[in-house]
Amino acid sequence: MNRAVFLDRDGVLVRTTMVEGKAYAVRRLKDFRLLPGTRRAIAELRAARYKIVVVTNQPDIGNGLIDSRVVEAMHEKLREAITLDLIMTCPHRQDDNCECRKPKPGMLLTAARELGINLRSSYMIGDRSTDVIAGRSAGCYTLLIDRGYREALGATPDCIVKTLPAAVNVILAEQQSEVG
């Protein structure tokens, strides 16, 4: 079985738009940019033989605020910048009650089946409680990137860090302690 690192997209891999302490996904392709350190962090995970899976809620599609083709163009830009094994997207609105929308673990479970991932040996990195809850529900070790959002943290992650590179350092140190 493979190990994986599941990553939220907005606020973890790419920049968001901040409005009054709340983060929003960008809606224009020209505003879609990687956060500092993303390329190197993903390269380090790949070198350590982790599968890299993006799991992202994109309710702006379901709410009619962005066309799915724009989101797919963003994902193509992401694939060009970093090597990914899979991108899973939930395009549904917040109130659709689908199985794929985080905090439900549907995207992680589907990816695990598709890629032969051992969830107990895997990690979920996110910037919101929904990411932590989804990761925990799937059986992953959870890391929260604390971006200082004004929303309450509704779940306790296994680890809190400030950046993606810091999260990757935790994962690689954990891997080293298992080997050593």
pLDDT digit string, tens, across residues 61-114: 999 999 999 999 999 999 999 999 999 999 999 999 999 999 999 999 999 999
Kindly report the backbone phi and psi dihedral angles of residue 137, in degrees, each rounded to the nearest multiple of 5, phi listed first: -60, -30
Task: Enter the pTM of the model.
Answer: 0.96
Query: Which residues have C-beta within 8 Å of that of residue 164, sequence separation ≥ 6?
Result: 7, 12, 13, 35, 37, 38, 41, 125, 145
Catalytic residue among 8, 60, 127, 131: 8
> What's the CATH number for 4-179?
3.40.50.1000
Quickly list H helices, the chain: 38-47, 59-62, 68-81, 106-115, 129-138, 164-179
Q: Is 10 a catalytic residue?
A: yes
d(CA 17, CA 86): 25
pLDDT at residue 180 is higher than 80: no
What pLDDT is stored for residue 142 in this prediction? 98
pLDDT bucket at 175, cuts 50 / 70 / 90: confident
**Is residue 12 pLDDT above 90, yes or no?**
yes
What the block records as the tokens of 56 is: 């992202």
Q: What is the pLDDT of residue 158?
A: 98
What is the arithmetic mean of pLDDT over 4-11?
98
With 80 as the cut, is the pLDDT of residue 178 above it? no
Q: Is 179 in a helix, a strand, or coil?
A: helix
Burial class (CB in 10 A: 0-12, 13-18, 19+), 166: middle
129: helix, coil or strand?
helix
Interval 121-145 mean pLDDT: 98
Q: Is 85 a catalytic residue?
A: no
Digit-coded pLDDT (tens) for 41-58: 999 999 999 999 999 999
**Catalytic, out of 10, 60, 127, 131:** 10
